Amino acid sequence: MKLRTICILLALIMAVSLVVVSCGGNNGDTSKESASADISGQSDNSADNSEVISSEESQALVPHLDDTGLNLNGKVFKILAMDNHQLYQVEQICGYYRPEGNEEIEDDPVKTAIQNRNNKILDEYGVTIEVEACEGYDAFVTRVKNDFLDPDVDYQAFCGGSNFLAPLTIEGYTLDFYGMGDKSYLALDEEWWDPVTQGQMSIGGHLFMINGDLLLTDDEQTKCMFFNKDIVENHLGQSVAFEKHPYQLVRDGEWT
């Protein structure tokens, strides 16, 4: 698949984890360590979840693609993901994830919304979104590295947490989003990309990881820190660790 087409297909995915474009090919066999799911069809309970489409929902999902002149009908955009059994880790790509041997369908409004988005992409552009989830970090990284020079790899991007993807970008397993140019039609300044994360992830004018404006795993895994104010205040100035009050570090922009 040409890089230009890959970029256009990637622009259709507006609410997924951090995504990188793979440097591999696109037509190979899937790994035995992974479970794959075709999420192009309606879920079994789609009739119960159907809603009246508003005028806003009836508009094109990605309007600027209308001027590309490309025929995407019949294309498959496949994402390699990592499954650590965290909430919505795989489902944020495909909605209802049904690995082989588990056909039970649950009624989840978030998964249904993602499923409906993917169905809308299929209806409007003829593009089927698929996901293949490797079981755990080791299998995921091994798969990416083994597929790097394989011309028959059948996925076009892979996604996961930044702590897992960062080493792969450093080792050269990804492409630079900024280096793809205007012809990629990614429209990186559009509202479906998160500008804050994009600014934080760019290094020296290069961008190797990107995510949409809605990152479900980020909301599900929001982190906080608790500390004992009395202990901190009693030890202020007595060591490097207590040189400043945590509140003051935040006010001074020095909290990391």
Whether residue 232 sits in one domain with residue 138: no
Confidence of residue 113 (pLDDT cuts 50, 70, 90): confident
Is a pLDDT exceeding 50 seen at residue 6? no
Whether residue 21 sits in one domain with residue 86: yes
Percent over 70 (pLDDT), the chain: 71
Average the pLDDT over each of 85-89, 106-110, 246-250 and give the range with the smallest value.
85-89
Whether residue 228 sits in one domain with residue 215: no
Whether residue 139 sits in one domain with residue 102: yes
What is the pLDDT averaged over residues 73-81?
Answer: 92
Q: For residues 91 and 95, what is the distance between their CA atoms, to the nearest angstrom?
A: 5
Overall number of domains in the chain: 2
Query: How far is CA 251 from each of CA 130, 200, 222, 244, 254, rounded to the nearest angstrom?
Result: 45, 20, 21, 11, 8
Residue range 162-187, pLDDT digits in tens: 888 889 998 999 889 998 877 778 88
Whether residue 88 sits in one domain with residue 52: yes
Residue 13's pLDDT is what?
A: 52
Whether residue 151 sits in one domain with residue 254: no
CB 89 within 8 A of CB 83: yes
Whether residue 109 sits in one domain with residue 229: no
Whether residue 179 sits in one domain with residue 63: yes
Is a pLDDT exceeding 90 seen at residue 78? yes
Confidence of residue 98 (pLDDT cuts 50, 70, 90): low
Whether residue 234 sits in one domain with residue 147: no
Whether residue 141 sits in one domain with residue 248: no
Whether residue 246 sits in one domain with residue 192: no
Residue 134's pLDDT is what?
A: 92
Confidence of residue 15 (pLDDT cuts 50, 70, 90): very low
Whether residue 102 sits in one domain with residue 205: yes
Residue range 25-71, pLDDT digits in tens: 554 443 334 444 444 444 444 444 444 444 444 577 788 777 777 78
The three-class DSSP label of residue 107 is coil
Task: Identify each DSSP E strand in 96-226 by its residue range.
Answer: 128-135, 157-159
Range of the domain at 171: 3-220
